[in-house]
Chains A and B, each alone.
Chain A
Amino acid sequence: MRHTISILCDDTPGVLTRISSLFSRRGFNIESLSVGHTERPGKSRFTIVVEGDEKILEQVRKQLQKLIHVIKAWGISPEESVEREHALLKIQMSERQRGEILQIITAVQARIVDSSNRTWILEVTGDTAAIDNAFNLFKHYKIIESIRTGKISLERGGGKTAKR
Chain B
Amino acid sequence: MKKERLTGAKAIIKSLEAQGVEVIFGLPGGAALPMYDELPKSKIKHILTRHEQGAAHMADGYARATGKVGVCMATSGPGATNLVTGLATAYMDSSPIVAITGQVPRSMIGNDAFQEVDITGITIPITKHNYLVKQAADLPHIIEQAFYLASTGRKGPVLIDIPRDVQLEDFPPDRAKRAPLEGYSPTIEGHPRQITKAVQLIRTAEKPVLITGGGVFHSDSSEDLRNLAEKIDIAVINTLPGKATFPNSHELYFGMLGYHGRVAANTAVSEADVIVAVGVRFGDRTTGPLDTFAKQAKLVHIDIDPAEISKNVPSYLPIVGDAKNILSELGHLLPEMKHKEWIGHLKEVAKAHPLPAKMKGVSTPNIIRILGEVVKDPILVTDVGKHQIFAAHYFPIESPRSFITSGGLGTMGFGVPAAIGAKVARPERTVVDIAGDGSFMMTCNQIATAAQYSIPICVLIMNDYCLGMIHQLQDVFYDKRYEACKLGKNVNYAKLAESMGAVGIRVTEEKEIKGAIEKGLSCGQPCAIDFVLDDNCNVYPMVTGSTLLEYRE
* A57-92 interface code vs B (CB 8 A; 1 in, 0 out): 001001101111111100000000000000000000
* B427-464 interface code vs A (CB 8 A; 1 in, 0 out): 00000000000000000000000000000000000000
| Among listed B120-128, B212-220, B248-256, interface-contacting one | B120-128
* B297-337 interface code vs A (CB 8 A; 1 in, 0 out): 00000000111000100000000000000000000000000
Q: Interface size for chain B: under 10, 10 to 19, 20 to 34, or 35 or more residues?
A: 10 to 19
Q: Which of B124, B132, B149, B181 contacts A18 (CB 8 A)?
A: B124
Docked Cα-Cα span, A150 to B184, in Å, equals 28
8 Å CB interface, A47-65 against B: 59, 62-63, 65
* B123-153 interface code vs A (CB 8 A; 1 in, 0 out): 0110011001000000000000000010000
> Does B4 sit within 8 A of A, measured CB to CB?
no
> Does B356 sit within 8 A of A, measured CB to CB?
no
> Does B341 sit within 8 A of A, measured CB to CB?
no
8 Å CB interface, B258-306 against A: 305-306
Q: Please give the number of chain A residues whose Cβ is less than 8 angstroms from any Cβ of chain B in the complex.
A: 19
Question: A66 contacts B305, CB within 8 Å?
Answer: yes
> Does B182 sit within 8 A of A, measured CB to CB?
yes
**Which residues from chain B contact A25 at a C-beta distance below 8 Å?**
125
Q: Which of B125, B183, B307 contacts A62 (CB 8 A)?
A: B307
Question: B120 contacts A69, CB within 8 Å?
Answer: no
**Which residues from chain B contact A134 at a C-beta distance below 8 Å?**
none
Question: B149 contacts A68, CB within 8 Å?
Answer: yes
Give, as a whole number of angstroms, the nearest-CB distance from A85 to chain B: 27
Docked Cα-Cα span, A66 to B307, in Å, equals 8
Give, as a whole number of angstroms, the nearest-CB distance from A115 to chain B: 40
Q: Which residue of A lies closest to B306 (CB)?
A: A62
> Does A124 sit within 8 A of B, measured CB to CB?
no
Docked Cα-Cα span, A10 to B182, in Å, equals 9
> Does A17 sit within 8 A of B, measured CB to CB?
yes
Docked Cα-Cα span, A60 to B182, in Å, equals 20
Question: A63 contacts B121, CB within 8 Å?
Answer: no
Secondary structure at chain B's binding surface: helix, strand, loop or mixed? mixed
8 Å CB interface, B173-215 against A: 181-184
Give, as a whole number of angstroms, the nearest-CB distance from A63 to chain B: 6
Known contacts A59-B311, A66-B307, A21 near B149 by CB under 8 Å: no
Give, as a whole number of angstroms, the nearest-CB distance from A14 to chain B: 7
Docked Cα-Cα span, A18 to B125, in Å, equals 8
Question: B306 contacts A65, CB within 8 Å?
Answer: yes
Docked Cα-Cα span, A66 to B132, in Å, equals 19
Q: Which residue of B lies closest to A71 (CB)?
A: B183
Q: Which of B125, B183, B305, B306 contacts A9 (CB 8 A)?
A: B183
Known contacts A10-B182, A71-B182, A65 near B121 by CB under 8 Å: no
Give, as a whole number of angstroms, the nearest-CB distance from A121 to chain B: 34
Known contacts A59-B307, A62-B307, A63-B307, A68 near B184 by CB under 8 Å: yes
Question: A69 contacts B306, CB within 8 Å?
Answer: no
Q: Which residue of B lies closest to A60 (CB)?
A: B307
**Which residues from chain B contact A10 at a C-beta distance below 8 Å?**
182-183
Docked Cα-Cα span, A65 to B308, in Å, equals 12
Q: Which residue of A lies closest to B186 (CB)?
A: A66
Docked Cα-Cα span, A136 to B183, in Å, equals 42
Docked Cα-Cα span, A18 to B149, in Å, equals 17
**Which residues from chain B contact A69 at a C-beta distance below 8 Å?**
183
Q: Which residue of A lies closest to B181 (CB)?
A: A68
Docked Cα-Cα span, A68 to B311, in Å, equals 20
**Which residues from chain B contact A13 at a C-beta distance below 8 Å?**
132
Q: Which of A14, A59, A67 contacts B183 (CB 8 A)?
A: A67
Known contacts A9-B183, A62-B307, A68 near B129 by CB under 8 Å: yes
A sample of 9 more A-B contacts (CB under 8 A), given A14-B121, A66-B305, is: A9-B183, A13-B132, A59-B307, A59-B311, A65-B306, A65-B307, A68-B181, A68-B184, A71-B182
- Sort A-B residue pairs by CB-CB distance and give the 6 closest, nearest first: A62-B307, A71-B183, A68-B129, A70-B183, A71-B182, A68-B184
- Name 30 interchain pairs, CB-CB below 8 A, sorted by A: A9-B183, A10-B182, A10-B183, A13-B132, A14-B120, A14-B124, A14-B132, A17-B121, A17-B124, A18-B124, A21-B124, A21-B125, A25-B125, A59-B307, A59-B311, A62-B306, A62-B307, A63-B307, A65-B307, A66-B305, A66-B307, A67-B183, A68-B128, A68-B129, A68-B149, A68-B183, A68-B184, A70-B183, A71-B182, A72-B183
